Amino acid sequence: MLRLKTDPMKRHQVTIIDIAKELNLSKSTVSRALTGHPSVNAVTRQAVLELAEKLDYQRNMLAISLITKKTNTIGIIVPEFYSSFFPNVIMGAQEVAGKAGYNTVICQCNESYETEVANTKVMLANQVDGILVSITKETRNFDHLKIFHRKGIPIVFFNRVCDEMDVPKVIVDDYDGAYRAVNYLLEKGRKRIAHLAGPSSLKISEKRLSGYKAALKRNNIELDEDLIISYDLSMDKVKIYVNHLLNLERPPDAIFAVNDPTAIEAIQVIKKRGLRVPEDIAVVGFSNDYASGLIEPSLTTVSQPVKEIGQTAAQLLIEQISRDVSDWKTIIRVLKTELIIRKSS
């Protein structure tokens, strides 16, 4: 529970009153000078500004926000900080938000639904003007997010979106990316391509899986359900699944992983077993994380325009914020992916 008692020592904050007294002015005049209101004597303004500077006066945004009902703050909720993906998206979003005069408060959920719910409450209590969110792998119920919608606080999804809410979303063409990746493997002569898929609760998993299936079908390869493993993205399980695949009577000659961390982990396991990548088994990932270009062999992967995802999402959110609820758009912005061919395939 939250503690509330006022600080015993009361740090002294410099307030408008302080500078009003000092300069023998009314609070309103000082306030006007500080906010750049035109109707205030140039000399007075100058004096106020100088004193403010000298005293390290900082406007109390809490008080201002209380009045204006605007905090100029947007919240960003991401499921994890494990890979470089989300930090980079955040950088893109912060860039756009910052330029538009918005602050950002960031919450990371450790892939936990509970934490996500708690984080939304925090955002609400702190009166953010809008939120950007990518859900956790556990999130199946969206009531905590629908509240925002109901309260008229704009929300924009990115990457891991919520299907049942009619709000703007920024995604990449996961289906197409997966399709092209698998298609490439087939062109290179691979016959048995396994897929380490993500949890079906995430739309991106589903789309990447469809792309995978479509590519097989297009190339007249029969789908072998044994080669598809859906897992919950906990890295420690990758080892088990990859070993399982390699132990099959007819093991795969390629693995298409739902994301880069999975692919990277898979490569480690394969190498540890003394098999060669890509000679014995090719590996392709999804996202083009920072580490992908560094591992040996370097990872072939479907690159996402990470920064652009963040920028676009922030852009859409800011547009919504200045719009009336009744006027909200439910744009879905689909960004393009690119197949980065490296040595692992």
**For binding to a copy of itself (CB under 8 A), which residues are involved?**
1-13, 35-36, 56, 58-73, 81, 84, 87-88, 90-91, 94, 101, 103-106, 108, 110, 121-122, 124-127, 147, 150-153, 264, 268, 290-291, 294-297, 324-325
Q: For residue 263, what are the CA distances in angstroms to 195, 241, 298, 299?
A: 10, 12, 11, 8
Contact partner, 337, from DNA, a copy of itself, none, Cβ < 5-8 Å per class: none
C-alpha span between 78 and 108 (Å, rounded): 5
Contact partner, 36, from a copy of itself, DNA, none, Cβ < 5-8 Å per class: a copy of itself
Tell me how many degrees the CA angle 193-194-199 measures, rounded to the nearest 5.
145
C-alpha span between 97 and 140 (Å, rounded): 29
Q: Is the peptide bond before 297 cis (omega within 30 degrees of 0)?
A: yes
Size of the site for DNA (CB under 7 A): 31
C-alpha span between 249 and 255 (Å, rounded): 16
Q: Could you tell me where the DSSP H helices lie in 10-84?
A: 16-23, 27-35, 42-54, 61-68
The nearer residue to a copy of itself, 13 or 234, going by C-beta atoms, is: 13
Q: Is 192 helix (H, G, I), strand (E, B) or coil?
A: coil
Footprint on residues 28-57 left by DNA (CB under 7 A): 28-29, 31-32, 34-35, 38-42, 44
The nearer residue to DNA, 68 or 141, going by C-beta atoms, is: 68
Residue 59 engages DNA in binding (rule: CB under 7 A) = yes
The nearer residue to DNA, 24 or 220, going by C-beta atoms, is: 24
The CB-of-147 to a copy of itself minimum distance in angstroms stands at 5
Residues that bind DNA (CB under 7 A): 4-6, 13, 15-17, 24-29, 31-32, 34-35, 38-42, 44, 59-60, 63-64, 66-69
